[in-house]
Structure 1
Amino acid sequence: MSAFVDFKDVVKRYRMGEVEITALDGVSFQVEQGEFAIVVGPSGAGKSTILNILGGMDSCDEGRVVVDGVEVSAFTQRQLTTYRRNDIGFVFQFYNLVQNLTALENVELASEICPHPLEAAAVLRGVGLTKRMNNFPAQLSGGEQQRVAIARALAKNPKLLLCDEPTGALDDRTGKTILKLLQDTCRKSGMTVVVITHNHALTAMGDRVIEVRDGRVAAMKRNARPASVESLEW
């Protein structure tokens, strides 16, 4: 049985003027359905390029990318747009909320564009924002805004949740709360979650850890017993 995510010999190059930069140089890894996977590495290692290709925001020059049995790397631009809209949830370091919409309206935006959404209010209750649904982003703390962003991603009922440095703009305590929310979501819903981070302390909480360096997979391991978020120190 094939893996839920299969990244196979993926190469990605960018041109900057006269210079060609190889961002990914034959990257291969797999993630099973329902796993909480962490892609870790220093700045410039190729982590975000992996996330962009997985999420259909970019395409590879060589290799194959298969998600849930479908070869995403063979998609046209129109197919990639549908894939991003229907199958992928995104959580970024910065929350990208619409400032003149309430928390509930921000989440409803996402649920309006995909075929099998979850109820926006129910998802907000699930991330602990029952009393904040009618607040605007400016009335919420950073951690609360990130919860809205996570709820917006989850409301799409995506096959794959991609998180790019989701705690990067938060203090340690709030960051742990957000990581626990992501880990719990993975455990309870069976959703496949991929977190991109430079913080090696987070690797203990992952089911699978993919270490990226200089555009290549430097190491990959599975944690038989992933640590609780509360036990992490950084």
Structure 2
Amino acid sequence: MGHFVSFDQVSKIYRMGEVTIKAADKISFEIDKGEFCVIVGPSGAGKTTVLNMLGGMDTCDEGTILLDGSRISDYNQKELTRYRRYDVGFVFQFYNLVQNLTALENVELASEICENPLDASETLAHVGLSERMDNFPAQLSGGEQQRVSIARALAKNPKILLCDEPTGALDYNTGKTILKLLQDTCRSMGKTVIVITHNQAITAMADRVIHIKSGTVTDMALNPNPTPVERIEW
């Protein structure tokens, strides 16, 4: 029984003229199914490179990436497109909603392209927006728009939920409610949720914490008793 997500000696090299930059330098880590995992590190540490490779938006130059028994690192472009479409839910710092569609229509967009989608209105209810389904993004607060984008990601019924600085554009309290929603979703739906952040404080709420610095994993720790986000201060 292997791990749900596995990076084994993964490297990514960017060449700019004469200069080569190792954005990822032999990165290895594992994440188990249903875990709430936080990948933390300073800006430029390689977190986004890891996210892009795990999300199928970028390929690795060396090493092996596995998700649920499939070797993502061997995929061609067509297979990567399919993988991004069906297996990965994305939540970014900015909500990327379609402005002239309602909240419900934004979520339906995702479920239309998928094999086993969840019901769009039920998913919006899950993120606490049953009263806001017919509103357009401009009529919603930042926190509500981020909830729509989480619902859109979940409606795909993905294998993993990848969240890149999901509270980056939100105020402190709203950010906390979004993190709580992500953690509750991980628990109630059994989803594997991965949050990429530079905020060290968030690590206290994780089941697993992976520290990345200068393109390598400096530490990986399991947290037997995650702290509820309400009790975390930063």
Q: TM-score range by the shorter chain?
A: over 0.9
Cα separation, 2, equivalents of 1:105 and 1:36: 28
The equivalent of 1:73 in structure 2 is: 73
The equivalent of 1:144 in structure 2 is: 144
* Correspondence 1:168-179 to 2 at 5 A: 168-179=168-179
The equivalent of 2:45 in structure 1 is: 45
In structure 1, the residue corresponding to 2:169 is in which secondary structure? coil
Cα separation, 2, equivalents of 1:16 and 1:38: 30
Structure 2 runs not aligned, ≥5 long = none
The equivalent of 1:218 in structure 2 is: 218
Q: Does 1:32 align with 2:32?
A: yes
In structure 2, the residue corresponding to 1:99 is in which secondary structure? coil
Per-residue CA deviations over 1:158-208 (Å, capped at 9, x if unaligned) read: 000000000000001000000000000000111101100000000000000
Aligned-pair Cα RMSD in Å: 0.5
Q: Does 1:184 align with 2:189?
A: no
In structure 2, the residue corresponding to 1:130 is in which secondary structure? coil
Q: CA deviation at 1:92?
A: 0.1
The equivalent of 1:13 in structure 2 is: 13
Q: Does 1:112 align with 2:112?
A: yes
Cα separation, 2, equivalents of 1:101 and 1:15: 40
Cα separation, 1, equivalents of 2:49 and 2:232: 27
Q: Does 1:97 align with 2:97?
A: yes
Question: Which amino acid letter does the alignment assign opposite residue 129 of structure 1?
Answer: L
The equivalent of 2:87 in structure 1 is: 87
Cα separation, 2, equivalents of 1:179 and 1:38: 11
Cα separation, 2, equivalents of 1:19 and 1:194: 32
Q: CA deviation at 1:15?
A: 1.6
In structure 2, the residue corresponding to 1:131 is in which secondary structure? coil
The equivalent of 1:231 in structure 2 is: 231
Q: CA deviation at 1:111?
A: 0.3
Cα separation, 2, equivalents of 1:200 and 1:62: 29
Q: CA deviation at 1:25?
A: 0.3
Q: Normalising to structure 2: TM-score of the pair?
A: 0.99
Q: CA deviation at 1:16?
A: 2.1
In structure 1, the residue corresponding to 2:131 is in which secondary structure? helix
The equivalent of 1:200 in structure 2 is: 200
Could you tell me the percent identity over the aligned residues? 68
The equivalent of 1:22 in structure 2 is: 22
Question: Which amino acid letter does the alignment assign opposite residue 107 of structure 2?
Answer: V
The equivalent of 1:132 in structure 2 is: 132
Cα separation, 2, equivalents of 1:100 and 1:141: 16
Q: CA deviation at 1:17?
A: 2.9
Cα separation, 2, equivalents of 1:114 and 1:25: 34
Does 135-144 or 11-20 show the bigger shift?
A: 11-20
Q: Normalising to structure 1: TM-score of the pair?
A: 0.99
Q: CA deviation at 1:19?
A: 1.4
Per-residue CA deviations over 1:69-89 (Å, capped at 9, x if unaligned) read: 000000010000000000000
Question: Which amino acid letter does the alignment assign opposite residue 127 of structure 2?
Answer: V
Structure 1 runs not aligned, ≥5 long = none
